[in-house]
Structure 1
């Protein structure tokens, strides 16, 4: 094995890779020789920019990167992608499935006292959509890729959660519910998919100033708190998470399964 390119010939499928954690992971894994299928849902302008940036990464690292602008939450889109991607040369080659989908409803449960008709309130339908998008869709993707015979004999399934799954953040209830569900799902997937060679883990990143974070009401306060709270005296950046995902893909990490890994420089300790 080329120790500089340990993943040559293998593939990662990244759900939500146009920016943030997904894009940083694509950069890191490409530098280690891994080919990538990067899926995202963006308007034409940002999609073009992401596709061009990924093409540059592919050329710089002499790897193959396939970009797909599609709705990863749509059953027919998922099936079509797997049919198109699953050519014989890629069977048994998918080393990583990364779930980095950031699509959810950010609404309060109830009107703040003294205010009337000024807020759109969270509905059960909002919760159901967010839970599937940011949590349970991982199960559909994992099962379909497994059934297509695409996973490597020693593969990784990695999801992302946040501190907002356990603590109150303004208007974050639907996402918090989704992430809590994803944490339980990770436990069960770690057990039931293990006989197929899949290790399933969840990363809780520190507060990171991504586009997804900026959509959360009061995110500027979260950023301010993170900058002073972190023991290493800086915020988490997407590259920190990408580095850990790379480590989890190595042979040495094969015994990590069903874990919730804090990738935050110790931020969660305070």
Structure 2
């Protein structure tokens, strides 16, 4: 039996690291992406080079139609999704009061509401033992400059996770939030611009554990949470940052 993993926003950054982590376990990885075909093909080749199996699924997660299209594409190749990972993000840097309403609404749909859309669309493919992951950040709980469109979306999705955890539990499906420490991704660069590199470096220097986050820190946790050993863990948010969120 081939395990299947669907990663929304899996063609780069943290999403790609997670896709790679599950692929090394023998999972057939479905990588969803929105626009850049060249980047997606490069991501697929990385998975193949590492000995994994990969299918690219191009679709807009911000709409129910897009999420339905993703579900149909996955269903053509498998009858189950063992891991669903939501790491898609629209990095619209803005304050709340200075936001353009249509762009803000789009960001909330991509970054937050799509978690609900894709879970609904995968009904029948998510089965007992399946695990859903949502990638969140401290910006969903604390105010970060120019991070409003992402932070509000993360807060919305974290609330969705709690409600959905209760509703999915009778079916044996778990859902949890993973909040890795800051890494220099395209989304981080979009929000913080030329300061992104120094912010990430300073975060590592100031971390109580003496370094910044590494991909194994969160992928190993997710592999455990997806295992039968974690079948009683759901509706939680796990900060993977060496204790950085514990500072006043």
Shared fold, TM over 0.5: yes
TM-score by length of 1: 0.84
What's 1:258 paired with? 235
Task: Find the residue that maps to 1:141 and give its secondary structure.
Answer: helix
Which residue is equivalent to 1:14?
7
Give the conservation status (yes or no) of the 8 Å contact 2:4–2:27: yes
- 5+ residue gaps in structure 2? none
Match of 1:75 in 2: 64
Conservation of the 8 A alpha-carbon contact between 1:40 and 1:69: yes
Distance 1:81 1:165 in 2: 26
RMSD across aligned C-alpha pairs, in angstroms?
1.9
Shift of 1:109: 4.0
Helix, strand or coil at the partner of 1:103: coil
User: What's the counterpart of residue 118 of structure 1?
Assistant: none
Instruction: State the secondary structure of the residue aligned to 1:158.
Output: strand
Matches within 5 A, 1:179-190: 179-190=154-165
Report the secondary structure of 1:151's partner residue: coil
Select the residue among 185, 189, 210 that pairs with 1:210: 185
Q: Is the 8 A contact 2:5 2:85 kept in 1?
A: yes
Aligned residues: 245
Q: Does the 8 A contact of 1:104 with 1:133 survive in 2?
A: no
Q: Note the 1:70-109 alignment, pairs <5 A.
A: 70-87=59-76, 90-91=78-79, 93-109=80-96
| 2:129 counterpart SS class | strand
Q: 1:231 aligns with which of 208, 219, 236?
A: 208
Aligned to 2:37: 44
Matched residues in 2 for 1:136 and 1:189: separation? 12
1:175 aligns with 2:168: no
Structure 2 residue 182 is the aligned partner of structure 1 residue 194: no
TM-score by length of 2: 0.91
Gap regions ≥5 residues in structure 1: 1-7, 111-120
Q: Does the Cα contact within 8 Å between 1:54 and 1:67 map onto a contact in 2?
A: no
